[in-house]
A and B are shown apart, each in its own frame.
Chain A
Amino acid sequence: MGSSRAHGSPACIVGVGESDYAKWGAIVDQSELGMALAAVMAAVRDAGLKSSQLDGFASYSNDANLPAQMQLALGMPMLRHASMVWGGGGGGLLGAVAHAAAAVEGGYASCVAVFRAIAQGQQGRLGKGGKSGPTYNATAPFGLLIPAQQAALMMRRHFHEHGTTPDTLAEIAMVCRENAQSNPRALMRGRPLDQAAYFAARMISDPLRLFDCCLESDAAAAVIVTTADRARDLPVVPVEILAAAAGGGPRWGMGFLGGHNMPVASYSHGNAAELGTELFARAGAGPRDIDVAQFYDAFTPMVVQALGDYGFCTHDEVATFVASGALRRDGALPINTAGGSLSEAYVHGANLLVELVRQLRGNAVNQVAGARLGFIAGGPGVAPTSAAILARSAA
């Protein structure tokens, strides 16, 4: 599933919006549905549209806020597209964008909201066990119950195979935290993090310490996808979806959320190498062309996996690349420029998508000068994982 410019007007993102961002449990006067609607309505306003002009929804991670409820609340005369990407976490983030892009490019819908809302205080916190079946049987009785442990198993192996170290993870956590300091929406604004504080924090599941793990939030975010032709009538700088894809490579299975029998040679990677090759080819660009990137960062190891899998460097080069300061705002590849899941808010990556659009419009809080081509990765280590390449429109 992906976008293609072969048929008619290409898909663009023309609006971004979010609810209030708060620590989990802090939003008590607005339901999760209300938060989802707030984000979509903010994105609609940002695009210069009316909510009645929407005719589709795309989401992922089994978002509980149904298109039927959203259509009713928003007064939409027609619903023409409603799609969900399988899988939990942020793996499907850009799959939802691919669905929306395909829908508007194919003429199945004209204006689709991609959204995700998480009210952890109302719906229960993430990362708690409670399933059944062979995967559960193969993991839970042994105390393998939460994603931090699952990510830790992969990261330990990455250390062993590729020479990454705890310093690699610390730098990623510090970059995200630093970027949050100038973002008024960021939940970790005002709480800077240095290396001593990173290493002083408690161990969660070795080698993952507290600040390798994302925030837990009440938050919602949305973007509006339409065609470039329709975007011409709107008072915004459209951001073109050059390529968006969701999928995974061979023999990955449930990945790090499953029984951990991924292929030995790529066990510590993110199941995105094959996807990334196809994605960049479709966009007609390479990793070195990217001006600014957003990497899904529920855990710092996910940034490591994405760097190597998408070819920003090799897996063996990740430690050196990260240590060089490349990920900082003045580095070769600025990442998670609003703070990400680690330091802005945890919305299964939807806030990363909003931030990338702002960067390419040129109005981000930590604007990367001249940013024209942007990359975003959804959660790695699962199938489908996903990614997209977005571009500031030339016009």
Chain B
Amino acid sequence: MTIFGSDMPMPVPDIDDAPFWAAAAQRRLVFQRCTSCGAHRHPPAPVCPTCQSTGSDWSEAPARGELFSYTVTHVAPHAALRGHTPYVVALVRFPAFDDVRLVTNIVGSAPDHLKIGAAVELFWELVGTESYLPRFRIVGDETAE
């Protein structure tokens, strides 16, 4: 059971972010890291904003991050979201990775249990037949349903 409808927009990887999505297909959350200065960046981009180097590799993020901000969306801005509202769009921050933030969803928590700064844990949701999207749960909270 996916949290959204089956015809949700899917990532269409391009030259810059293909490695991110290739790792996601293997259920690995990776962020782009500059091979010159070591700074992480997201979304993927061809040049390091810290040192302007073009070299990069991909490092696997920890399974836990921190809730940086969120919004509980009550409208369905896409047809695939009808019947799936309200849903939570969140920014998860990874302090050990230069504070990169990932746009994602929090699943399984009642809205009043969402708190900025809360510890959140990664899980992978199968969408379609072979794609995975990274989503998160509040650590120690299962208040929805």
Chain A residues packing against B (C-beta within 8 Å) = 127-129, 132-146, 148-149, 152-154, 156-157, 160, 202-208, 251, 253, 258-261, 264, 267-268
Q: Complex Cα distance A259/B11, Å?
A: 14
User: What distance in Å separates the Cβ of B103 from its nearest Cβ neighbour in chain A?
Assistant: 5
Using Cβ atoms and an 8 Å threshold, which residues of chain A touch B9?
Answer: 129, 136, 140-141, 145
CB atoms of B69 and A157 under 8 A apart: yes
Using Cβ atoms and an 8 Å threshold, which residues of chain A touch B73?
Answer: 143, 149, 152, 204-206
- Chain B interface residue count: which class? 35 or more
B58 within 8 A of A: no
Using Cβ atoms and an 8 Å threshold, which residues of chain B touch A132?
Answer: 12, 14
User: What distance in Å separates the Cβ of A264 from its nearest Cβ neighbour in chain B?
Assistant: 5
User: Which residue of chain B has its CB nearest to the CB of A254?
Assistant: B43
User: Which residue of chain A has its CB nearest to the CB of B40?
Assistant: A261
CB atoms of B133 and A141 under 8 A apart: yes
Most buried by B among A136, A160, A261, A267: A261
Q: Complex Cα distance A261/B42, Å?
A: 7
Q: Complex Cα distance A128/B76, Å?
A: 11
CB atoms of A141 and B71 under 8 A apart: no
Q: Complex Cα distance A259/B72, Å?
A: 18
CB atoms of B81 and A143 under 8 A apart: yes
Q: Complex Cα distance A127/B73, Å?
A: 14
CB atoms of A149 and B89 under 8 A apart: yes
Partner of B89, one of A135, A142, A202, A267: A142
Q: Complex Cα distance A144/B133, Å?
A: 14
CB atoms of B72 and A205 under 8 A apart: yes
User: Which residue of chain B has its CB nearest to the CB of A154?
Assistant: B69
CB atoms of A137 and B13 under 8 A apart: yes
Q: Can you identify 24 A-B contacts, CB atoms within 8 angstroms?
A: A127-B77, A128-B77, A129-B78, A134-B14, A137-B12, A137-B13, A138-B17, A138-B102, A139-B103, A141-B127, A142-B135, A143-B81, A148-B75, A149-B77, A156-B69, A157-B68, A160-B69, A203-B72, A203-B74, A205-B72, A205-B89, A259-B43, A261-B42, A268-B69
